[in-house]
Structure 1
Amino acid sequence: MKSILKHALSGAALFLFAACSDLTEINVNPNQLGADQINSKYVLTSALAQTANYYIREYTYGYTSEHGISEAMQYLQRDYIGYEINSFVWKPTDYTSFKALTDSQTLLENSEKAANEEERKFYKGVASVLRAFWFGFYSSAWGDIPYTQALQGSTQLFKPEYDAQKNVFKGIIDELKSANDELSGLGTLSSIGSADLLFDGNALKWRKFANSLRIRYYIRLGAKKDDLKSDNLDIEADLKQILANPTQYPVFESNADNAAVAHPGTDAFNSWIGGPLANSNRSQFYRRKPCASIIDYLKQSSDPRLATWFRPVDVQLKIGSGSAEYIKSASGQIIRYVSQYNESLDTSLYVGLKPALGDPNIYNLGSTANLSQIKALNGSLYLDQGANPHVSYLADIYAQDTNPLVKAVLMSYAELNFLLAEAALKGWIGENASVYFRKGVESSLDQYQLTDGVQKVYDRQTHQLTAFNRTAFVGDLESRFKNNADGQLELLMTQKWVSSWMTPEFWFDWRRTALPDLSVNIVEGSNGNKIPVRLVYGTKEYVVNEDNTRAAVSKLQPAEDNQWSKMWLLQGTSKPW
């Protein structure tokens, strides 16, 4: 049988060689359209859907076993299985989201075949923004990456050289400038609207995204300002030019401009990753728990985002004794009585896992919970794999396939305001930093519909939710910002950390400032109290493009491909350590 199969394959191969003028014709599906034949509307939709999906799935929610950016930034922690990621045992990570980038490249290449000049400009401008978004993210995460020679497999270039990180950023900034120019003068293109999942064909909003993204990169490059200026890129002057010419260089003006993709929630791919369509195995949701760092800060600050993002514990611990070990209170809350006080116990209604625990499964008496007694008191509670009734879970909005408050946020108005507040503190712009700081706080609250009077403020004494006094909350933060010059940057970065919840972006801010001091919270990190500063190049890079990958590694400090080596952005800065 093997012999017959072998000869049959040999004969088939001879036929293919004889019938084809070259090897590229082998295995071509005659019914499959080439990339240059696909309608650009479909390519645009795919690029945005892939961007929204992978930006959250791979780099935020952590549907991966290679790394944990949200765990590093102490938003989330994992338990049950795979929790070594909490302690920064990270593995090589391939560019899993490359489809979003290849779609963007196809959109750029096909733009010249658009039906009219308006569509050509629109597709070209949008493709450039998406390329800049992804190349900027990749370089920020890994370091040197292929850029100039990237995405050229169709020309048989399978081993692209890695561009120096400085040159990657110079290139994407030029792309963003060109995108703003291409999109200038265009209105809303109704012929494209439904295909544009981000801005419904509104060219002005794409320009705002392009210029706001440019500001993100300028602040990220701040420590290299002099180096870049000597290489003909004056990021401070460029930033001033943007703010001085809002008509020529529009930026986000409200949350209505946010670059945020909603989740339709109709199938596994377009649903929020924590919902049942994307994850029928519900332990995937419950094993991702909030970190104590974000929980405790929000509790101490009487911040309404606490009760918006997180659920109270299913079973609250209480020191003392009752009629039974487990009881249900008049409010319906299950309480477990613990006879002796232990300083490691958290008796709050909102409890997070401490970062980098050796065994998070036993935290707050989780491994000793009597699940049968709890179930008898409330049979609707989740008590399966990954359950810890004494630790909070993510709020119900994150367990749904779709929710208006849960989007893939690529960049927000809140982030822009915090960036501009930082630029003002640096003295790059003359505007008042406190004005931007206040706008940043307020726009983050608005993003989650936290208006005055909403019952979202947790009282740590009574364990009740009380009314939110928004005026007092924002006023107190603004007063602290104005009256403590030495602590301004720390407060700014702390509020930016909070507002960047459910995005990976703050990792890049924390690396360059080391604020807030998240390292002090680490319990059992794999490298002391250090937090990783980069992703490790994927194994596929070494298989396909080893020489160029090793050349890129040689420029890291130290020249080792691990999560601790510093890329150009961080070299010579003494940050974050």
Structure 2
Amino acid sequence: MKILNRFMAISTFAVLGLLSGCTKSFEEINTDPDALSEVPATNMLANVIRNTGEQFGGDVDGYGTFAGYIVKIQYLDYMAGLTPTNNTYGNRWAACYYNNTQLKDLLSKTEESADAYKNIRLVARLWQCYMWQYLTDGWRDVPYSEALKGPESEGNILKAKYDKQEDIYPAVMASLKAIADEMTGGFGTDEIGDGDFIYGGDMQKWQRFCNSLRLRMAIHISSVSPELARTTIEEICTNPDKYPVIDANAHNCYLTWPGAAPYYEPWYNNGYVGKRVDNFGMADIFIDHLKEMEDPRIGSVANVASDGEYRGYQNGAASAPPILTSISFIGDRYMNNAAGFTPFFKSCESYYIIAEAAMLGYNVGISAQDAYEKAVRLSMEDNGISQAATDAYLAGKGKWDNTTERIWWDEWVAQFKNNFEAWTLYRRTGIPSTNYPSLNSIYGDAHNDQPFRLPYPNNEYLYNKENLDAALTNVSDYVWGQQMWWDTRTGVN
């Protein structure tokens, strides 16, 4: 109930936003004497975190399809167009900029008393960086340096230019390092308040998220900016007290939902509430891999089909399976829990990154094998797998084989539900190598791969077309063309 009440606090923010629209002549009669004249900073943070979870946590088939996890088994229209609409990925784009605008407002309103709001300002700046990472990894080149500068005092820039991902990444990583260094100097004395739906005001856990996000961005660019990647990862791994990371499941950056209307976990809301769970099935390549590897996580990520077997379905098949229940649905842990979670960063990801860095020869203070096995154990624990089953997997099909591919394959399994990052893993590494494009694309066989990016939203075509056109010179059919800066794969189009 306490969590639900915290979520309900968002309504205060909405009401106050409406009040701010009162004209001067109606100020007296339209002002509620019992209403707050200023939105509390914790409410603003709460609004952003909730919005992030709703917008980015609700994609069941979208990124899940791109990453090779989930397919549509009813209403097979998903891969029919991939054209930009504000009803799909345009909402994700808008959410990133809306959230950053709200956080910028929070920072502006607390600037004069920055010392008194140190902790919440640190979290606000950190979440801004997460939004920028999400934006550029989704769309590649996006408005960054001129973004959020609409006020006349800041340039009156209503149509922002598009910055290259090559320039955005170092800038965001520099911001994250500045936040990390400030955190090493000590936290503030302020309470973040009930708006911290993730860590409940625990600044040490926010510090871990900051450094883990630095790890993520660094490993992404390890093939294209190896020196920045190496120095960032080594700085963190050789100074664990100064730069702690998310290294236990108790530190996971998860938004746990209240589980009462209207704040259901988004996958549950997209499935069980409306009894639409049979819209989505498990992808054949995912189920086949889990079965081949004798991976005990299969029982967590998927349910058995009606005949008691685990069975997946083809991405973009021309028709639905004759019997929907012959295909495995998404596991109850991930979809049948109204009070479930939206993951932003899992502890196992830290160790998969460290294992990969060790294979690259970075000084990370641990062997690739030990980091890999630690990652596997954390993932198994997070999925409720017993230690005995975990031991059997690591001694069997999941045994360390001294290859980076072993790390990537297991990370692919472990990232389930964190589908956006799993899609990034695929675009960066080519794992799962069994992934394939939709069999039912309107582009026929013009493209041999899943999308490289998300489509730019309609509003950019309508209101920022000149700047968008410059970015579109490298885009083909909305979501292909130039690959991400960090995507060095060859032979894909």
Both proteins in one fold, TM over 0.5? yes
Distance 1:548 1:36 in 2: 38
Equivalent in the alignment of 1:341: none
Equivalent-residue separation in structure 2 for 1:507 and 1:447 (angstroms): 20
In structure 1, the residue matched to 2:138 is 141
Q: Contact conserved, 1:77 with 1:291, CA < 8 A, in 2?
A: yes
Do the aligned partners of 2:211 and 2:245 also contact (CA within 8 Å) in 1?
yes
AA matched with 2:317:
L
- CA deviation string 1:225-260 (max 9, x = no partner): 16xx5xxxx331222111111222121221111111
How far 1:211 sits from its partner (Å)? 0.9
Q: Distance in 2 between matches of 1:36 and 1:472?
A: 60
Rounded to whole Å, the distance in 2 between the matches of 1:510 and 1:353 is: 19
Q: Tell me which of the two structures has the higher relative contact order, counting C-alpha pairs closer than 8 angstroms and 6 or more residues apart.
A: 2
Name the CA distance, whole Å, in 1 between partners of 2:225 and 2:449: 26
Q: How many Å separate the matches in 2 of 1:56 and 1:478?
A: 29
Aligned identity (percent) is 22
- Alpha-carbon distance change, 560 to 352 in structure 1, aligned in 2, over 3 angstroms: closer
Q: Which runs of 5+ in 2 are unaligned?
A: 1-20
Match of 1:352 in 2: 312
* Aligned with residue 472 of structure 1, among 370, 392, 405: 392
Specify the alignment match of 1:549 in structure 2.
Answer: 468
Give the Cα–Cα distance (whole angstroms) in 2 for the partners of residues 357 and 27 of structure 1: 59
Q: Which residue of 2 aligns with 1:394?
A: 330
Question: Cα deviation per residue 1:513-545 (whole Å; 9 max; x = unaligned)?
Answer: 112213358655544542211111111001111
Letter in 2 for 1:249: Y
CA contact (8 A) 2:220 2:486 kept: no
Tell me the residue number matched to 1:265. 259
Contact 2:118 2:190 in 1 (8 A): no
Q: Calculate the aligned-residue CA RMSD, in Å.
A: 2.9
- Whether the 8 Å CA contact 1:254–1:443 is kept in 2: the answer is yes
Q: Deviations over 1:134-164 (max 9, x none)?
A: 1111111111111122123344432111112
Task: Find the aligned partners of 1:535 and 1:499 in 2 and give their Cα distance.
Answer: 23
Which residue number corresponds to residue 51 of structure 1? 52
d(CA) in 2 for partners of 1:124 and 1:204? Answer: 15
- Greater CA deviation, 407-416 or 388-397? 388-397
What code does the residue aligned with 2:157 have? L
Aligned to 2:244: 250
The number of residue pairs the alignment matches comes to 454
Q: Is the 8 A contact 2:70 2:283 kept in 1?
A: yes
Amino acid paired to 2:413:
V
Query: How many angstroms does 1:213 deviate by?
Result: 0.4
Whether the aligned pair in 1 keeps the contact of 2:282 and 2:302 (CA below 8 Å) is: yes
Matched, 1:212 2:212: yes
- Which of 289, 292, 304 is 2:281 aligned to? 289
Change (3 A) 1:470 1:188: farther
Equivalent residue in structure 1 for 2:407, among 474, 479, 492? 492
What letter is aligned with 1:352? G
Q: Any gaps of 5 or more consecutive residues in structure 1?
A: 1-23, 63-67, 317-347, 367-387, 454-468, 483-487
Q: Could you say if the C-alpha distance between residues 77 and 573 of structure 1 is closer, same or farther in structure 2, counting changes exceeding 3 Å?
A: closer
Contact residue 42 and residue 193 of structure 2 kept, 8 A: no
Q: 1:521 to 1:42 in 2, by over 3 A?
A: closer
Q: Aligned residue for 1:97?
A: 95
Distance 2:355 2:478 in 1: 33
1:312 paired with 2:304, answer: yes
Distance 1:470 1:540, change over 3 A: same
Equivalent residues in 2 for 1:510-525, closer than 5 Å: 510-519=426-435, 523-524=439-440
Secondary structure class of the residue paired with 1:77: strand
Whether the aligned pair in 2 keeps the contact of 1:350 and 1:392 (CA below 8 Å) is yes
The amino acid across from 1:531 in the alignment is Q
Cα 1:165–1:88 change in 2 (3 A) is: farther
Please report the TM-score for the alignment, with normalisation by the length of structure 2: 0.84
Counting only pairs closer than 5 Å after superposition, residues 326-475 of structure 1 correspond to structure 2 as 349-359=309-319, 361=320, 363=321, 365-366=322-323, 388-403=324-339, 406-429=340-363, 431-452=366-387, 469-475=389-395
C-alpha separation in 1, matches of 2:100 and 2:36? 14
CA distance in 1, matches of 2:269, 2:352: 35
Distance 1:290 1:523, change over 3 A: same
Structure-2 change in CA distance of 1:303 and 1:544 (3 Å): same
Q: CA–CA distance in 1 between the matches of 2:31 and 2:477?
A: 39
Structure 1 residue 102 displacement after superposition: 2.6
CA contact (8 A) 1:438 1:478 kept: no
Residue-by-residue CA offset, 1:478-507 (whole Å, 9 max, x unaligned): 63424xxxxx12221111110010111011
* Cα contact 1:140–1:508 (8 A) shared by 2: yes
CA contact (8 A) 2:282 2:329 kept: yes
Opposite residue 169 of structure 1, the aligned amino acid is Y
Change (3 A) 1:250 1:399: closer
Match of 2:7 in 1: none
> How far 1:183 sits from its partner (Å)?
2.8
CA contact (8 A) 1:211 1:251 kept: yes
Q: 1:89 offset after TM fit, Å?
A: 3.5
Describe the shift of the 1:306–1:277 C-alpha distance in structure 2 as closer, same or farther (beyond 3 A): closer
SS in 2 for 1:519: coil
Mapped to 2, the partners of 1:571 and 1:299 lie a distance apart of: 29
Cα separation, 2, equivalents of 1:200 and 1:575: 46
Once residues 36 and 542 of structure 1 are traced to their aligned partners in structure 2, the CA distance between those partners, rounded to angstroms, is 37
1:402-441 Cα deviation digits (max 9, x unpaired): 34xx411101111111111111111123531111110111
CA–CA separation in structure 1 for the residues paired with 2:189 and 2:72: 44
Report the CA distance between 1:167 and its aligned residue: 1.6
8 Å CA contact 1:50, 1:97 repeated in 2: yes
1:95-127 per-residue CA deviation (whole Å, 9 max, x = no partner) reads 14233333222233233144x72x422122111
How far 1:35 sits from its partner (Å)? 12
| Structure 2 CA distance for aligned equivalents of residues 260 and 222 of structure 1 | 26
Residues 145-154 or 185-194, more deviating = 185-194
Q: Is 1:175 equivalent to 2:149 in the alignment?
A: no
Distance in 2 (CA, whole Å) between partners of 1:181 and 1:395 is 40
Q: Is the 8 A contact 2:219 2:357 kept in 1?
A: yes
Question: Secondary structure of the residue that 1:69 maps to in structure 2?
Answer: helix
Aligned to 2:233: 239
Q: Is the 8 A contact 1:111 1:120 kept in 2?
A: yes
Q: Which amino acid aligns with 1:514?
A: G
Give the letter aligned to residue 311 of structure 2. V
